[in-house]
Amino acid sequence: DSSSDVCSSDLKQTVEPVFGTITKWLGFTQFSLRGHENVDGEWKLVTLAFNLKRMCKMVNTQNQAPSPA
């Protein structure tokens, strides 16, 4: 089905870089805890750290004054 191919290609373009960033820059390669509830909580902390890192980068980018030309 071509519509599912389009959806999966969009998903690969938007989601996979997030996992790459979490793996490379945050160093998260495996869960330390076991059990669904514990893993869920650990994943929420990882994604919180990722989102805070993105927010800090956005705020720093917005606060930089444009260089005079």
pTM of the model: 0.63
What mean pLDDT comes out for the span 42-50?
Answer: 94
Q: How confident is the model at residue 6 (pLDDT cuts 50, 70, 90)?
A: low
Q: How confident is the model at residue 69 (pLDDT cuts 50, 70, 90)?
A: low
Among candidates 21, 10, 27, 11, which has minimal Cα distance to 51?
Answer: 21
Q: How many CB atoms lie within 10 A of CB 15?
A: 10
Percent of the chain with pLDDT over 70: 72
Note the pLDDT of residue 7. 62
